[in-house]
Structure 1
Amino acid sequence: MAQTQAKGMDDLLKRIQQDSAASAKLNQEREARFLRDRNAQAEMLQKAEAEHAAVKAKSDAIRARYEANQKQIAELKEQFKTRAGDYTQVAAAVRQAAADFRAHAGDSPISAQFPERLAFLDTLTADNAMPVQADIEKLWFTLQQEMTENGRVASFPAEVVDPAGAASKQQVTRVGAFTSFHDGRYLVPQPGGSELLELARQPERKFRSMAKDFGEAEGRAPILVDPTGGTLLAQEALRPSLMERIDMGGEVGYIIIVIGLVGAVLAIWQLAWLLRTDRAVRRQLANVAQPSDDNPLGRVLATFKGNPATAAEDAEVIELRLSEAVLREVPKLERFQAFLRLAVAAGPLLGLIGTVVGMIITFQVITEQGAGDPRLMAEGISQAMVATVLGLGIAVPLLFINSLLAARSRAITQILDEQATGLLAERLEQTRA
């Protein structure tokens, strides 16, 4: 047992020795590997530091070159300013002139014929633009072109935008820088652009016909000239037409017009009848011995000369018969005059009613909207004024024509009375004889 234990202790000691040797070897390997790694890291650190130094040197060189370039640029700018001298002021003046002319050219119909000049002016007016001699000469040419075209009538194709917004190519006639039109319809320049806009509301027909005739004329012809570039044309187009003015009068205005038209028709018809009757009466005066029933005088004469029973009647009965015959003709001669007198009196009164209604509308608008904008009150005032004009407009003509009818009817009645009195005197002479 003792020997066995001793052997076991030897093995244990031997194993311990072996393990210690193995651990020592492993530690040595670790120390060697650590030393190798430390040397490698040192080499890498040295390499990194070398690279950093190289990059820093390169960066310092670039910075130095940049600073040198900036200094050189500043020196060149100062040298440029010194050498440029008055040219900078000239360039500023050119840009200002181009900007002022660009504002004018954008509202000129000449730009529709020469649209490329707007792009040139936009380029020339840029802040960083430095015009060269060619640009200055072209600007001078453009200004001279504007002055020349102001006194010229030209026809050219251009883009025209209708009131619906559709653009189309049309043949446009231009009168200087004042008026432009196509096919009798007036155009205005598009603000800031080269297209022409067709007025949504055109001037009255006589001005449109004038434009159409001017476009078709080969020689001289009259035409509207708008020195404001379309403002006056637009204002002229806003003027209401005759039917629009009549419509401003409202319902009262239409009533006045109906009364006036009825009175005018009746008056004209009666005047024509009186003229025919007057000619027939004068023909009858030339042949009193043969009365005709196609005129009042003939019918009056027929009551005396065409009736054998009157030969035995006394003068008083004959006078009554003649008076009856004359009175029978008077209503036809004075026909419609009572209605015309009524229309003459009613016209101004209806116009006054329209005036009052218009004032009521105006005061209602003032109550609701205030009196700050006069255009809000225009409807009521227009109705008031138009109704008054319509009332007086039918009263004055009907007054004159009624006076004419009364004079014509009195003249014919006077002839009937004279002839009737003459017949009665002739009968009295025959009785006394």
Structure 2
Amino acid sequence: MKRHLAKVSLALAAALCVIPAHASQELLNDTNKAKAADTQHNKAREGEFASQEQKLQAEYDALIKQRANLNKSIDSLSAKFQSNEELLAGKEKELTLATGSLGEIFGVVRQAAKDVQLEQERSVATIGLDEDVAVIDEIIEAKSIPSKDQLYGLWHSYQHQIDASSKASKIMVPFVDGSGELQKKTVLRMGSFALADDNGYLAWNATKQIATPYTVQPKLTLTSSTDLSSDLPVVALDVTRGALLEQLANNPTLSQRIEQGGVVGKIIIGLLLVGLLIGVYRAFVLMSIKSKINKQLKDVSNPTDNNPLGRVMLVHKEDQSPTIEALELRLLEAVMDEQESLEQGISTIKLLAALAPMLGLLGTVTGMIDTFQTITQFGNADPRIMAGGISMALITTVLGLVAAMPLLLVHNMLSSLSEGIRNVVEKQGVGLVAESAERKQEAAA
């Protein structure tokens, strides 16, 4: 500011040297006015600065005082906290000495309550005992020693559970039928083991508090109409409380097994049925032929054409051959014709017996291909995804073997029966040739 005034003074002096006196006087007056204005402005600013400094100093002093008060409060709270910690430790020590073995009792009671809760979740005997469930939950969630009422509640829960488990009774439960409709239904409760309605056992969902029918019922199923008034009623109970009954749905029936075999399995069953039909028909025909041959053997002098032996004997009777060799050839021809008719269908059964295991192997390969395709698409993390292909692979193999074994047995039986008939016819044919040879030899003599 002083430097600025000096410059202004020099400028005025220089101006005075070159301008007239009256003009210099005016310039001097203007300069003085400007100087006075600047001085007044500077004083105002200095006053403002001083006021701001005083205000900041007051705020600073207030903050210093507040900090001192806070430090003083912190020291007081720290001392109080330390005192409370010491007091709390002393109280806890007094509590431990006062409770003594009650803490141990709390642990035992809590563990017993958990055991009861586990039984309540699994057993149908808990149905209708909602108050006992609430008491047990309260004891388990408690953080302090159980009260007298809670101990009595645990005792009563045990008693109610035992009473309900020892008798059969009719109760009302929420029931969901096959159509998904929820309704109230009267069912029979057999202790803590099972629920049953008119159609059989019911599954109890303790979480949702509803009963649903099992998919598959055992043979000796329990129903609500079962007579329990006799001294020794015969009922089937699942002591696993539903685990075995649930497994019944996982055991497929014979028809379901065949369905798992797919198209190949059905073809194998078809081959088995066709082979058995052919075998039964041919067995009936051969047994009839054998019966007719046995009847013919009793009356050799009167041959008929309703059986192979009679037709061979008719050939011998009508023969006009000049030599024994010619007669023998004609009889051999007749026996071969009869053998061909006797063996009809037997080769077909043998073919079916050979095809059945081959089709089973085809089904196995097809099932494994499906399994590998499933693994490619979904991975092998879940075995249930691959169960379809593996089931088809194994079932078709079993069906092929099951079909082949009875067909082979039927083939062997028919072959033996046919062979026995053919041997009888051949033996009689040889006898006829020998008889003719003896007659001609006697005639020649």
Contact 1:124 1:131 (C-alpha < 8 Å) held by counterparts: yes
In 2, distance between residues paired with 1:343 and 1:225? 45
1:113 and 1:281 mapped to 2: Cα distance? 81
**For the Cα contact (< 8 Å) 1:188–1:196, is it kept in 2?**
yes
Residue type matched to 1:257 in 2? I
Cα distance change, pair 366–280 in 1 and its aligned pair in 2 (3 A)? same
Return the alpha-carbon distance in structure 2 between the equivalents of residues 417 and 210 of structure 1: 63
Q: Which residue of 1 aligns with 2:382?
A: 373
Distance 2:304 2:356 in 1: 41
Match of 2:236 among 211, 223, 229: 223
Alignment counterpart, residue 291 of structure 1, candidates 303, 326, 329: 303
Residue 253 of structure 2 is aligned to residue 238 of structure 1: no
Partner of 2:334: 325
Identify which range, 261-270 or 190-199, moves more after superposition: 190-199
Partner residue in 2 for 1:412:
421
Separation in 2, partners of 1:210, 1:317 = 77
Kindly indicate whether the alpha-carbon contact (under 8 Å) linking 2:188 and 2:223 is maintained by their aligned counterparts in 1: no
Contact 1:267 1:401 in 2 (8 A): yes
Q: CA deviation at 1:190?
A: 0.9
Q: What amino acid is the match of 1:339?
A: T
How far apart, CA to CA, are the structure 2 residues paired with 1:275 and 1:182? 55
Note closer, same or farther for the CA distance 1:406–1:112 as it changes in structure 2 (3 Å cut).
farther
- 1:411 CA displacement: 0.8
Letter aligned with residue 248 of structure 1: Q
Distance 1:167 1:137 in 2: 36
Q: Matched residues in 1 for 2:237 and 2:291: separation?
A: 50
Letter in 2 for 1:156: K
Cα distance in 1 between the residues matched to 2:429 and 2:400: 42
* Separation of aligned partners in 2, 1:90 and 1:391: 67
Superposition deviation, residue 163 in structure 1:
3.9
- What is the TM-score when the length of structure 2 is the normalising length? 0.67
Displacement of 1:122: 4.9
**3-state DSSP class of the match of 1:101?**
helix
1:356-379 per-residue CA deviation (whole Å, 9 max, x = no partner) reads 111111111111211222222211
Asked whether 1:403 is paired with 2:412, we answer: yes
Q: Supply the distance in 1 between the matched residues of 2:348 and 2:265 (Cα, whole angstroms).
A: 19
Q: 2:168 aligns with which of 154, 164, 173?
A: 154
1:58-94 Cα shifts (integer Å, max 9, x gaps): xxxxxxxxxxxxxxxxxxx999999887668756754
- Aligned residue runs from structure 1 range 15-30, under 5 A: none
**Taking structure 1 as reference, are residues 331 and 214 closer, same or farther at Cα in structure 2, changes over 3 Å only?**
farther
CA contact (8 A) 1:186 1:202 kept: no
Structure 1 position 335 matched with structure 2 position 348? no
User: Which amino acid is 1:279 matched to?
Assistant: S
1:430 aligns with 2:443: no
Whether 2:399 is the aligned partner of 1:390: answer yes
Query: In 1, are the aligned partners of 2:238 and 2:244 still within 8 Å (CA)?
Result: no
**Residue equivalent to 2:37:** none
- Say whether the 8 Å CA contact 1:211–1:223 is kept in structure 2: yes
Q: Is the 8 A contact 1:123 1:129 kept in 2?
A: no
Mark the CA change 1:289 to 1:115 in structure 2 (over 3 Å): closer, same or farther: farther
Q: Tell me, yes or no, if the aligned pair for 2:358 and 2:400 is still in contact at 8 Å.
A: yes
TM-aligned CA deviation for residue 388 of structure 1: 1.1
Gaps in structure 2 of 5+ consecutive residues:
1-90
Counterpart for residue 363 of structure 2: 354
Contact 2:227 2:233 in 1 (8 A): no
Q: Distance in 2 between matches of 1:398 and 1:210?
A: 38
Distance 2:296 2:189 in 1: 68
Change (3 A) 1:216 1:331: farther
Corresponding residue SS for 2:207: coil
1:341 to 1:103, Cα distance in 2 relative to 1, 3 A: same
Contact 2:194 2:238 (C-alpha < 8 Å) held by counterparts: yes
* Whole-angstrom CA distance in 2 between matches of 1:91 and 1:403: 79
**CA shift for structure 1 position 239:** 2.2
Cα separation, partners in 2 of 1:427 and 1:117, compared to 1, 3 Å: farther
Instruction: Report the alpha carbon displacement of residue 281 of structure 1 after superposing the two structures with TM.
Output: 2.2
For residue 51 of structure 2, what is the aligned residue in structure 1? none
Question: In the superposition, relative to structure 1, how do residues 118 and 193 fare at CA in structure 2: closer, same or farther (>3 Å)?
Answer: farther
2:119 to 90, 104, 120: 104
**Contact 1:297/1:416 (8 A) holds in 2:** yes
Task: Check whether the contact 1:351–1:387 (CA below 8 A) recurs between aligned residues.
Answer: yes
| Alignment: residue pair count | 349
Moved more, 112-121 or 262-271: 112-121
Number of the residue aligned with 1:164: 179
Is the contact made by 2:201 and 2:221 (CA closer than 8 Å) also made in structure 1? no
Change (3 A) 1:213 1:432: farther
CA 422–168 in structure 1, closer or farther in 2 if over 3 Å, else same = farther
The Cα shift of 1:403 comes to: 0.8
State whether residues 334 and 409 of structure 1, in contact with CA within 8 Å, keep that contact through their aligned partners in structure 2.
Answer: yes
Q: Contact 1:359–1:380 at 8 Å: present in 2 too?
A: yes
Contact 1:333 1:409 in 2 (8 A): yes
Pick from 273, 281, 297: which aligns with 1:261? 273
* Equivalent AA in structure 1 for residue 234 of structure 2: A
Letter in 2 for 1:190: N
Cα gap change, 1:113 to 1:369, in 2 (>3 Å):
same
In structure 1, C-alpha distance between the alignment counterparts of 2:322 and 2:161, rounded to whole Å: 100
Query: Bigger CA drift: 375-384 or 108-117?
Result: 108-117
| Other structure's SS at 1:310 match | coil
Distance 2:311 2:233 in 1: 64
Confirm or deny: 8 A CA contact 1:214 1:222 kept in the other structure. Answer: no
Post-superposition offset of 1:408? 0.9
* Corresponding residue number in structure 2 for 1:5: none
